């Protein structure tokens, strides 16, 4: 690959700020060589991006790629009486178990690739994904698309989270299932490319309620030994908070701190019900919180983004699989913070963009990501601000966060390689992938209807009924 010169109208870097009419020179090795006020004399392949804003690629710090297509529409507008209990335990987990049971490796890969294409189209250059071990074909599909991925397969100390008759989660005896620890170690050995690699594999213990202290201690020790990351749900629902207090006499974050899991290299998903004291523990320990505002908004709850921001904890943004549209997720995060703080400057455009770029990169231990500066990896996106949606442009960052649409992305680049150019994905046949991925998910839906896993009221509102042979 020869050198490439990117010539946008604006360049933004969380560290260097906003610059107009500067060019970015990318080397043959996929690193940024320079940011220049004038690139006309440079002998390089040139990509002109008139009217575009160039910024670091967006980092999705918490996602379940299989959940995006699996629950699209299925988990929305849930009415009273539809589910016997919490949506996680009465719909999401059982459907995930079914998918893991019946989907072939090819089907898993097709569904995951379809979801990843959605993320790529929305400016996502890096994704941290949490999934069941059976969904490990995700790794090859992300690599094939050229995306930067962090895979954190689930670990459970129980063989499943079912529902008790009263609608609460049913935790089977701890230690009654093989948690898959050794299988994850083998995945790391087979696929992880090391601290500066594009493909990384870590550990995804589900939560402090569904993993024993012994398992979490093993995860902590092995993750340090193998120099990889840990992603864990923490304080994500009140059932978890109650269970951890009953078993261990402390709050979830206190429990994780005592197990060594409030530190750099640990990503805490959601922290929805963390107290201010718990947020301070996370901040002091160096752990990051991945907040997914749309996932909770779908169930009628605000994520406490203003509290996260006030605490000073390292904050990243994720999509949780509801949608892989990081542009929409950033706008939602910014609006939520403004409403909660009653202040129009809450999670301003530069601040929320920093959360999805530089701060998320540091949470992953990657100081060479999330910036547009010499020496950084050339994971970059450009959005065309020339249409009526944005014009006239007073401030390109505010235009992007307030009005931005992923449909206006003109470039997505990872390690200097163009994955999307002029609105077209260059690394896959989108229609073919989407056709296969949709068919794979439709088969799961049909089997779920046949087995009665989808509530009748939810199915009827969608005009669906169980197959005649059910």
Tell me, yes or no, whether 389 lies in a domain: yes
**pLDDT tops 50 at residue 211:** yes
Same domain, 121 and 233: yes
- This prediction has a pTM of 0.94
Same domain, 23 and 133: no
Res. 73 pLDDT band, cuts 50 70 90: confident
**Residue 1 has what pLDDT?**
52
pLDDT tens by residue, 119-128: 999 999 999 9
Tell me, yes or no, whether 432 lies in a domain: no
CATH number, residue 296: 3.20.20.140
Mean pLDDT of the chain: 92
How far apart are alpha carbons 405 and 1 in whole angstroms?
31
Three-state helix/strand/coil letters over 323-357: CCCHHHHHHHHHHHHHHHHCCCCCCCHHHHHHHHH
Which conformational region is residue 212 in: left (phi greater than 0), alpha (psi within -120 to 50 degrees), or beta?
beta
How far apart are alpha carbons 88 and 93 in whole angstroms?
6
For 34-48, 163-177, 300-314, 441-455, which range has the lowest pLDDT when averaged over its residues?
163-177
Q: How many CB atoms lie within 10 A of CB 196?
A: 11
**pLDDT tops 80 at residue 88:** no
Tell me, yes or no, whether 438 lies in a domain: no
First to last CA, the chain: 56
C-alpha 41: how far from chain center = 40
How far apart are alpha carbons 247 and 171 in whole angstroms?
12
Same domain, 149 and 288: yes
> In terms of pLDDT, which residue wins out, 71 or 401?
401
**Within 13 Å of residue 451, how many CA atoms lie on the same side as its CB?**
15
Query: Which among 300, 307, 233, 248 is positioned nearest to 275, based on CA atoms?
Result: 307
**Residue 176 has what pLDDT?**
47
User: Rounded mean pLDDT of 459-463?
Assistant: 87
Q: How many CB atoms lie within 10 A of CB 456?
A: 13
CATH number, residue 13: 2.30.40.10
End residue of a domain, out of 409, 425, 441: 425
CA–CA distances in Å: residue 332 to residues 274, 298, 335: 20, 12, 5
Same domain, 261 and 410: no
Tell me, yes or no, whether 139 lies in a domain: yes
Q: Is 403 helix (H, G, I), strand (E, B) or coil?
A: helix
Same domain, 221 and 339: yes
User: Rounded mean pLDDT of 206-226?
Assistant: 94
Tell me, yes or no, whether 436 lies in a domain: no
- Domain carrying residue 126: 58-364
**pLDDT tops 90 at residue 166:** no
**Residue 300 has what pLDDT?**
85
Same domain, 194 and 45: no
How far apart are alpha carbons 50 and 287 in whole angstroms?
39
SS3 content of the chain, % helix, strand, coil (to 5): 40, 20, 40
Tell me, yes or no, whether 17 lies in a domain: yes
Tell me, yes or no, whether 448 lies in a domain: no
> Six-digit token pair at 48?
């002109």
Query: Which among 46, 45, 50 is positioned nearest to 20, based on CA atoms?
Result: 50
**Residue 346 has what pLDDT?**
84
**pLDDT tops 60 at residue 175:** no
**Residue 179 has what pLDDT?**
65
**pLDDT tops 50 at residue 422:** yes
Identify whether 150 is preceded by a cis peptide bond (ω within 30 of 0): no
**pLDDT tops 90 at residue 362:** yes
How far apart are alpha carbons 286 and 264 in whole angstroms?
5
Q: How many CB atoms lie within 10 A of CB 21?
A: 12
Same domain, 405 and 264: no
pLDDT tens by residue, 258-270: 999 999 999 999 9
Same domain, 388 and 303: no
Q: Are 275 and 251 in contact (CB under 8 A)?
A: yes
End residue of a domain, out of 342, 364, 386: 364
Same domain, 179 and 48: no
Res. 10 pLDDT band, cuts 50 70 90: very high
**Residue 3 has what pLDDT?**
96
Res. 153 pLDDT band, cuts 50 70 90: very high
> Six-digit token pair at 130?
């949490």
User: Rounded mean pLDDT of 149-169?
Assistant: 74
**Residue 470 has what pLDDT?**
46
> Six-digit token pair at 347?
């999670």
How far apart are alpha carbons 232 and 141 in whole angstroms?
23
**pLDDT tops 90 at residue 352:** yes
Res. 163 pLDDT band, cuts 50 70 90: low
Same domain, 22 and 118: no
Tell me, yes or no, whether 457 lies in a domain: no
Q: Are 8 and 54 in contact (CB under 8 A)?
A: yes
Contacts of 203 (CB under 8 A, 6+ apart): 152, 153, 155, 184, 219, 222, 223, 228, 229, 230, 231
Same domain, 38 and 80: no
CA–CA distances in Å: residue 403 to residues 117, 189, 349, 384, 400: 22, 43, 11, 12, 6
Res. 164 pLDDT band, cuts 50 70 90: low
**Residue 118 has what pLDDT?**
96
- The domain tally of the chain equals 2
Same domain, 26 and 69: no
């Amino acid at each position: 690959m020869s050198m490439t010169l990117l010539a946008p109208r604006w360049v933004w870097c969380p560290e260097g700020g906003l610059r107009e009419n500067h060019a970015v020179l990318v080397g043959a090795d996929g690193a940024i060589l320079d940011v220049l006020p004038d690139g006309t004399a440079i002998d390089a392949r040139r990509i002109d991006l008139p009217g575009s804003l160039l910024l670091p690629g967006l980092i999705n710090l918490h996602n379940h790629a299989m959940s995006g297509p699996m629950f699209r529409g299925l988990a929305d507008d849930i009415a009273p009486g539809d589910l016997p209990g919490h949506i996680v335990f009465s719909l999401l987990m059982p459907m995930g178990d079914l998918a893991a049971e019946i989907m072939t490796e090819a089907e898993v890969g097709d569904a995951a690739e379809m979801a990843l294409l959605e993320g790529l189209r929305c400016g996502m250059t890096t994704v941290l994904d949490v999934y069941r071990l059976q969904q490990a074909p995700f790794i090859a599909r992300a690599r094939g698309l050229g995306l930067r991925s962090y895979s954190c397969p689930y670990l459970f100390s129980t063989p499943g989270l079912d529902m008790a008759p009263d609608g609460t989660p049913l935790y089977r005896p701890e230690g009654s299932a093989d948690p898959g620890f050794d299988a994850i170690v083998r995945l790391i050995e087979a696929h992880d490319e090391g601290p500066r690699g594009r493909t990384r594999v870590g550990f995804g213990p589900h939560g402090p309620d569904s993993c024993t202290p012994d398992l979490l201690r093993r995860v902590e020790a092995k993750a340090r030994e193998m120099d990889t990351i840990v992603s864990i749900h923490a304080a994500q629902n009140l059932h978890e908070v109650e269970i951890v207090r009953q078993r261990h006499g402390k709050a979830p974050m206190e429990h994780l701190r005592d197990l060594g899991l409030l530190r750099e290299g640990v990503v805490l998903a959601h922290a929805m019900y963390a107290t201010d004291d718990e947020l301070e523990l996370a901040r002091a320990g160096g752990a990051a919180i991945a907040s997914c505002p749309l996932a909770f908004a779908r169930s009628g709850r605000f994520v406490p983004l203003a509290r996260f921001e006030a605490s000073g904890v390292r904050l990243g943004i994720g999509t949780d699989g509801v949608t892989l549209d990081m542009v929409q997720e950033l706008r939602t995060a910014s609006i939520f913070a403004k409403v909660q703080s009653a202040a129009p400057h809450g999670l301003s455009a530069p601040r929320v963009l920093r959360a999805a770029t530089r701060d998320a990169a540091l949470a992953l231990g990657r100081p060479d990501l999330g910036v547009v500066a010499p020496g950084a990896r050339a994971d970059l996106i450009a959005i065309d601000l020339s249409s009526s949606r944005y014009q006239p442009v007073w401030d390109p960052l505010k235009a992007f966060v307030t009005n931005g649409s992923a449909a206006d992305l003109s470039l997505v680049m990872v390690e200097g390689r163009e994955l999307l150019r002029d609105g077209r994905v260059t690394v896959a046949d989108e229609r073919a992938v989407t056709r296969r991925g949709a068919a794979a998910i439709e088969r799961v839906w049909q089997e779920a209807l046949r087995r009665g896993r989808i509530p009748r009221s939810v199915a009827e509102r969608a005009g669906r009924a169980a197959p005649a042979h059910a």
